[in-house]
Structure 1
Amino acid sequence: MYLQHQNIAIIGAGVSGLALAGALKLQGVSSRVYEASDQLWSLGGGLIIPPNSVRVLEQLGLDTVLKVRGVELHDMRIYDVSGRLLYARSQGEVAQRHGHPLLGLAREDLHRVLAEHLPEGTVQTGHRLTGLDNEFHEAVAHFQNGQTVHADLLVAADGRDSQVRTLLYPETRLVPTGDVAYRGVTAQRPGGELDQAFSEFWGPGRRFTCFRMSDGLTSWHAPVRQGAGTPLLDKAGLLHAMRDFPPAVLGLIEATDADQITALPLQDISPLPEWWNRRTVLIGDAAHATSPNLGQGAAQALEDAAALAQHLAAAPDRYSALEGYQQQREGTANAATATARAFGELGRARGVARFARNLALSLNPELARRRIEAFYGDPVG
């Protein structure tokens, strides 16, 4: 395609939208990113950066943020709620196999570096999408502020609750997982063997994850099984719900200011038959929203952005580019969504299922390793 002559509009300034703008910039192509909020912002908290994320950031020339701001994690550990170790994996071994270990990073740091490396004026804030005309010859985006944007290609990078996806495919529905994810950030370090690890604790109907995301901050994440319509828990309620977890878990929650604890009902999406239609294409969570049980949400979004830019640059026409992009990415991204859903169910198992899970992991830890590392990419060397 003659990308230099294409008018490309990206809806959403999250990880996928900003990464795509950066990937297009490397192809010598300018684009505009339209963000609904009045300012660039991030949900906060931490991100796990797996090897497949690192490779895309290297391609974009942005991996310095990992060296400067990231925390290299030495181990991945999964415990039963009693504190019994169920699974351990040295990240040195992961680095030997996949080129990089897991890293912890503040979401805000990734968001900032993706935005700062774009030309001034690329991101336009205060543009909330209200309508879309997706024609054969152009896509037209209508915004709440009264502005209208005409594009040769419109990219929906507007996340899990994508307005573009709703307008294109109104029959599509997000599927609740049944969990509410409570998230927090604290200056308290996990301490002990947890201090340099990505750690998970699995309890009946509840889980807890923690890792250091910078030298001075720890990110934690606590999915709790809650029925639809159940009131969200405050800090005291969360501590009560997690009362049978080890002291290290309760200590991190107690050390977190109440106003730094957020709650998000988790949802994912069943595979979409089409990621593109006419002049509009979906990327990231707009195409394959996933639950955060594998740490692959941002990674899959980054891979989408890199793949779409490459296909747009190499394909002879728009149809071939968008078809090639979907064919390359949908199998892996949909598998990541399904695996994350299954992994979450495994982690919160109760009763006999919990006993069988613990026994299986003790006998064959490869069962967990294969699932966790399935999306890290081919072994190096």
Structure 2
Amino acid sequence: MTIDIIGAGIGGLTTAIALEKKGLKVRVFEQSPELKPIGAGIILANNAMQVYSKLELKEVIEQSGNAISSINITNANLKPISKVDLAYFEQKHKVQNIAIHRGKLQQVLADQLRSTKIYLNHKLTDIIQNNGQYQLFFDGKEVSSQVVIGADGLNSVVRQKLFAGNSTRNANQLCWRGIANFDLPKTYTNELNEAWGKADRFGFVQIAPKKVYWYALKTKKASMNEFDNAKIGTYFSNYTPLVKDIIAATQQDQIHTSDIIDLKPTAIWHKDNVCLLGDAAHAATPNMGQGACQAIEDAYVLSECLANGLPNQAFQKFQKVRMNKAHQVVKTSWRLGKLAHLSNPFLIAFRNFAMKMAPKAVNRKQTEQLFTLARI
């Protein structure tokens, strides 16, 4: 049996590694003509790093990124509103949270594959079930497949062709992501800081020496289709000078813009010998930093299921094990995005006060639930 994975992103490659370690035969099809170190940064939270520890990738990933021991929500002047100290979870699970360039992580994962071939320049255009097999169509090429895993992202072709009734949601927020050549003050070296303003926010984290990944979001108005990248600094001019300095240190070709969109939770992730994974199944807004982390958890659970059962049975178990947590992340992340973008000064003041007063035990319990891996 050959398992075909559509998409060589973080979820697809992690799944390929996990399946390969189980002794299963895998092929990966990727639409890009080459794997290049492009994109922005990513936070591999404790739950994702637990998976990579199980896959014996903990050390190489730690060496390729920067350890993060604190996640802080602040006001526009970087005065703390809420803080999650990750030291407890680092000690409990024996892994750190790692900030890393997404392209670097993708290359690290691709380099770990031994028997699996990545077929580049294979953009899936259609998939048809035929006599228990699947015909995959890639811009003129046709491949016969026995088992298909759709790890092809928010706009998954696998989902669109085989799973009806799914819809995306637009949060009406524009997001800029950038990589700056910048020397952060030492106090921020091992922290992720996200500053909340009025209907906007700005986050930054070090991913390597003198390399800072940052992201900025702003609520879109009905009359405004997009903002000008060259004017990002003016949009956040009321933030601390450090924010403006980070933006100013970023070259324009290192800034990527996108709308914030998620996938409305859907009840069906699999059909016969086809299964959706990661953003193709449960794309979330990035407000919890869990999009890729949940795909990595998917990879771990799915590989365990496939190693111990026939594909259709394995996919049923995978969905049963993973759906509740993944959907909870989607829902919580959506609500958090709305909370972060309040514009009424009185509501902002109340929100900030409530977050400051929240017991640390409550934050720890919520984080514990997020970082706990499923038992298979």
Q: Could you tell me whether the CA contact under 8 Å between 1:185 and 1:256 is conserved in 2?
A: yes
Q: Could you tell me whether the CA contact under 8 Å between 1:294 and 1:372 is conserved in 2?
A: no
Map of 1:90 onto structure 2: 85
Tell me: CA distance 1:251–1:10, structure 2 relative to 1, closer, same or farther (3 Å).
same
Offset of residue 279 of structure 1:
2.1
CA distance in 1, matches of 2:316, 2:14: 20
Question: Aligned residue pairs: how many?
Answer: 372
Give the alignment partner of residue 235 of structure 2, picking from 229, 241, 244.
241
Map of 1:254 onto structure 2: 248
Q: Which runs of 5+ in 1 are unaligned?
A: 1-5
CA distance in 1, matches of 2:242, 2:27: 45
SS of 2:334 mapped into structure 1 = helix
Answering whether residue 15 of structure 2 is matched by residue 7 of structure 1, we say no
Q: Which moves more between the two structures, 114-123 or 279-288? A: 114-123
Offset of residue 328 of structure 1:
0.5
Q: Could you tell me whether the CA contact under 8 Å between 1:75 and 1:91 is conserved in 2?
A: yes
Answering whether residue 18 of structure 2 is matched by residue 23 of structure 1, we say yes
Q: Could you tell me whether the CA contact under 8 Å between 1:21 and 1:30 is conserved in 2?
A: no
Q: Could you tell me whether the CA contact under 8 Å between 2:61 and 2:108 is conserved in 1?
A: no
CA distance in 2, matches of 1:136, 1:337: 36
CA distance in 1, matches of 2:135, 2:19: 21
Tell me: CA distance 1:372–1:138, structure 2 relative to 1, closer, same or farther (3 Å).
same
SS of 1:290 mapped into structure 2 = coil
Q: Could you tell me whether the CA contact under 8 Å between 2:273 and 2:312 is conserved in 1?
A: no
- Give the counterpart letter for 1:331 in structure 2: N
Scaled by the length of structure 2, the TM-score of the pair is: 0.93
Map of 2:277 onto structure 1: 283
Offset of residue 128 of structure 1:
1.0
Offset of residue 70 of structure 1:
1.8
Q: Could you tell me whether the CA contact under 8 Å between 1:74 and 1:197 is conserved in 2?
A: yes
Q: Could you tell me whether the CA contact under 8 Å between 2:184 and 2:210 is conserved in 1?
A: no
Answering whether residue 41 of structure 2 is matched by residue 46 of structure 1, we say yes
Matches within 5 A, 1:140-219: 140-144=135-139, 146-219=140-213
CA distance in 2, matches of 1:98, 1:61: 15
Scaled by the length of structure 1, the TM-score of the pair is: 0.92
Q: Which moves more between the two structures, 276-285 or 364-373? A: 364-373
Answering whether residue 52 of structure 2 is matched by residue 57 of structure 1, we say yes
Q: Which moves more between the two structures, 41-50 or 351-360? A: 41-50
SS of 1:303 mapped into structure 2 = helix
CA distance in 1, matches of 2:167, 2:51: 30
Write the deviation string for residues 325-351 of structure 1: whole angstroms up to 9, x where unpaired. 000011111111111111111222222
Tell me: CA distance 1:259–1:229, structure 2 relative to 1, closer, same or farther (3 Å).
farther
Offset of residue 369 of structure 1:
4.9
CA distance in 2, matches of 1:310, 1:62: 17
Tell me: CA distance 1:9–1:176, structure 2 relative to 1, closer, same or farther (3 Å).
same
Write the deviation string for residues 100-146 of structure 1: whole angstroms up to 9, x where unpaired. 332211112210111111136610011111111134612221110x2
- Give the counterpart letter for 2:33 in structure 1: D
- Give the counterpart letter for 1:75 in structure 2: S
CA distance in 2, matches of 1:208, 1:296: 17
Q: Could you tell me whether the CA contact under 8 Å between 1:37 and 1:127 is conserved in 2?
A: yes
Q: Which runs of 5+ in 2 are unaligned?
A: none
SS of 2:39 mapped into structure 1 = coil
Map of 1:307 onto structure 2: 301
Map of 2:316 onto structure 1: 323
Q: Which moves more between the two structures, 357-366 or 151-160? A: 357-366
Please report the RMSD computed on the Cα atoms of aligned residues, expressed in angstroms.
Answer: 2.0
What is the percentage of aligned positions where both structures have the same residue? 28
CA distance in 1, matches of 2:341, 2:289: 17
